[in-house]
Amino acid sequence: MPKLSVRTELLVAFAALAVLAMLPAFTSSKALVDFVIRAAAFGLFATSLNLLVGYGGMVSFGHGLFFGLGAYSFGLLMQRTGLPIPVAFALTLVISALSGLVIGAICVRLKEIYFAFVTLAFQMLLHSLIVSWVPLTGGDQGLLGGIPRPTFFGVNLANHIHLYMTSAVLLVVGLLLMRQIAQSPFGYTLRMIRDNPGRTSFLGVNVFRTKLTAFVLAGVFASAGGTIMSLFVSSAYPDFAYWTMSGEAIFIIMLGGTSTFLGPMVGTVVLLLLNDVVTRITPHYGLVLGIVILLFALGLRKGITDFIVEWFDDRRTARITAADAEEGAR
Amino acid sequence: MNPDALLTCFASSACLVTQVTSGFIIGMLLFLVAVGLTLIFGVLKVVNFTHGAFYMLGAYFAFTAYGLTGSFVAALAAAAVGTGLLGVVFERWFISRVYGGNVLMQLLVCYGFILIFDDVVRIVWGAEFRSMGMPDAFMLPPFIVAGGVIPAYYLFLIVCGLVIAAGLGMGLSRTRLGKTIRAASHNPDMVSALGINTGLLYACVFGFGGLLAGLAGGLAAPVRSLTSGMGFSILIESFIVTVIGGMGSILGALVGAILIGLIRTFGTLGFPLFTEGLMYLFMAVVLIAKPTGLFGKDIA
């Protein structure tokens, strides 16, 4: 992966945002606008998981916890306190960071499969709390009565286009921040821990603290995704915190590819498209999705962007060998 | 929160007997699922996230066999044999392809299969709740112990669970197969070099684990309502059991399962809203105090 300068990345992000901003001017399709909002929510969620899985080698099977936590914290704060949206959003991120700190402190010491299912257990704890604490959360019905969306700084999130723009900005800013984290010395320390934790610790790095920081950061970005989702549906449902959410996120990053930063984003778009097509054709969504997952996991064994990167690498190698051969012939 | 109910129950022997028995039957069903999970993990080093689906399929197999033959023995046999065979096929064709530490792929394959199994159950048996009903043989007057009521079937379940636990413990420590299995869990390459077909052994262990889960499903069918997705909650609980008891330990699975069963029944009395939370809390405490579980060796 070529290392781009921060300025180039800012330019790319700005260009992406400009394209997204102009989209509603060219199309009046509500479905497309909706699609981008959903992609923003899931994209932040999946990319944050890849921060753990791809960069840190920590396969969390409970990342949906933060998605659900974000949606419920934000929804409840808006319903119960009447705070302005930016304040409630910031508080949601703080709540997720604190929860991530506590849960992470218990989980990140554990290895591989233990880590995977203890994170899963914590997610199911949140799910069972949501389902059983009916007076607060509305139980199975989700947060009832909608989430109030008072205007702030002239932004009215009840307006579809305003919500779309806010989601797009959150997505691009979130991705840019995560990209900076991944490219920072911290990000490289994380990769080093993934590849050789023993050696990293010999070099004087506090492995536990680095992993915990990654866990908290990933949780914060995932809860931002959950917040977008709760704004989009104007509610929050127990399904947001259900284990299938984590399973889906794992499939998304595998589908897109864990070795590139934008892989999870590609995976998100592809899975959402697949989702829309399959649910239109058949009621047996699980059956079809399950078979697709098996095809990828047992057949291809790689994500979409992994194939693209490999193709470029192969071409470059081929070009170099060809040039070498030419030189040799001369 | 209702700690008063808990205290009243502790003061009455009738209530204690009833609660402890229902704690034990939850514990026995959990044990049968968890012990397969722990056995498979001990030998294959794979956490079978589809284990709950085997439990669910066992329950549905028993439901259908009971409906066809009217015999509870046939129902249990169908549950055990059906899921056992499924386990062997599943291990040979799918799980064996993702051995070797790639947790991401293992999770994905299992996730895919859970989705498929749940949907297949909905297609074959319908989306609504099913119930098998109590077999005639157990339509007996309940036993009364110290004022507490114990249905005959509960007693049967508890005895079944304890017999299987004892049999497993003896089998693993005394028989040749048991010794081979224990050897394979320590050093599969050496076992293979000694001329033992480890692939076959792995398939057997996985099939046996599936069989136990299916049997648990069959045993649960008369006292639980059947629905697609019933496997996932028991899967999470049996994970908690194995974390508490220690991965790879049969005694740990038994003790952990009974503890969770008792926490569930007494938790329902004292903290109805936080029953599930209590289990997770207990797990977190064990993890912090002894990360390898109560009876676990240092394999985590």
Q: Return all residues near A107 (Cβ < 8 A) that are at least 6 apart.
A: A60, A115, A118, A119, A122, A215
Which residue in chain A is spatially nearest to B118 when comparing CA positions? Answer: A286
Q: Check residue B207 and give its pLDDT.
A: 94
List, for residues B132-171, the tens digit of each pLDDT value.
Answer: 888 877 777 778 777 777 888 888 999 999 999 999 989 8
Split chain A (330 residues) into runs of 10 and give each run's mean pLDDT.
72 82 77 88 94 90 93 90 88 95 89 82 87 81 80 78 88 92 92 90 91 95 94 88 88 86 89 87 85 83 82 86 79
B139 in contact with A, Cβ within 8 Å: no
Phi, psi of B296 (to 5 degrees): -85, 145
Tell me the ipTM for this assembly: 0.81
Within 10 angstroms of residue A291's Cβ, the number of other Cβ atoms is 13
How close, in Å, is residue B47 to chain A by CA atoms?
7
Q: Is B108–A293 a contact, with Cβ atoms under 8 angstroms apart? A: yes
Least Cα separation, residue A11 to chain B (angstroms): 34
CB atoms B103 and A112 under 8 Å = yes
Dihedrals φ, ψ of A153, to 5°?
45, 35
Q: Residue B295, SS3?
A: coil
pLDDT at A2: 53
Q: Residue A295: enclosing H or E segment and its boundaries?
A: none
- The verdict on a CB contact (< 8 Å) between A114 and B111 is no
Of B106, B240, B300, the CB nearest to A121: B240
Kindly report, residue by residue over B216-227, the tens digit of the pLDDT: 999 998 888 888
Q: Among A227, A221, A223, which residue's Cα sits nearest to residue A181? A: A221
- Which of B105, B119, B232 is the closest to A243 by Cβ? B232
The pLDDT value recorded for residue B299 is 42
Distinct helix (H) and strand (E) counts, chain A: 14, 0
In this prediction, residue B117 has a pLDDT band, given cuts at 50, 70 and 90, of very high
CA distance to partner chain B, nearest, from residue A128 (Å) = 7
Report pLDDT for B188: 84
Distance CA B300, CA B288 (A): 13
| CA–CA distance, A30 with A297 (Å, rounded to integer) | 34
Q: What does the block give as tokens for B39?
A: 């056995």
Q: Give me the long-range contacts of A290-295 (CB less than 8 A, separation at least 24).
A: A290/B111, A290/B112, A290/B113, A290/B114, A290/B115, A290/B116, A290/B119, A291/B112, A291/B116, A292/B112, A293/A251, A293/B108, A293/B109, A293/B111, A293/B112, A293/B115, A294/B94, A294/B109, A294/B112, A294/B113, A294/B116
Cβ-based neighbours of B4, under 8 Å, separated by 6 or more: none
Is there a contact between B112 and A287 if contact means CB atoms under 8 Å apart? no
Query: A-chain residues within 8 Å CB-CB of B291?
Result: 109-110
**Nearest neighbour of B103 by CB, restricted to A59, A129, A298:** A59
For helices A243-256 and A30-50, give the axis angle rounded to 10 degrees: 90
DSSP B47: -
pLDDT top residue among A157 and B101: A157
C-alpha A88 chain-centroid distance: 20
Residue B269, pLDDT above cutoff 80? yes
Q: What is the pLDDT of residue A191?
A: 92
Q: Which residue has the higher pLDDT, A142 or B204?
A: B204
Chain B residues in contact with A112 by the CB 8 A cut-off are 101, 103
Give B-chain residues touching A292 at CB under 8 angstroms.
112
Q: What is the pLDDT of residue A5?
A: 77
Residue B104 to residue A301, Cβ atoms within 8 A: no
- Contact B284/A at CB under 8 A: yes
| pLDDT (0 to 100) of residue B182 | 86
Can you name the residues that pair with B150 across neighbouring β-strands?
B143
What residues does each domain of chain B span? 3-132+153-289
Query: What pLDDT, on the 0 to 100 scale, is given for residue B17?
Result: 86
Q: Which residues of A touch B112 (CB under 8 A)?
A: 289-294, 297
Look up residue B231 and give its two tokens: 């496997």
Chain B residues with CB under 8 Å of A284 CB are 119, 122-123
C-alpha distance from A126 to closest chain B C-alpha (Å): 9
Contact A258 B104 (CB under 8 A): yes
Residues of B in contact with A258 (CB under 8 A): 104
The secondary structure of A158-175 as a DSSP string is TSHHHHHHHHHHHHHHHH
* Alpha-carbon separation of residue A158 from A13, A26, A67, A161, A236 (angstroms): 26, 21, 21, 9, 16
* B contact test, residue of A136, A287, A292 with most B CBs within 10 A: A287
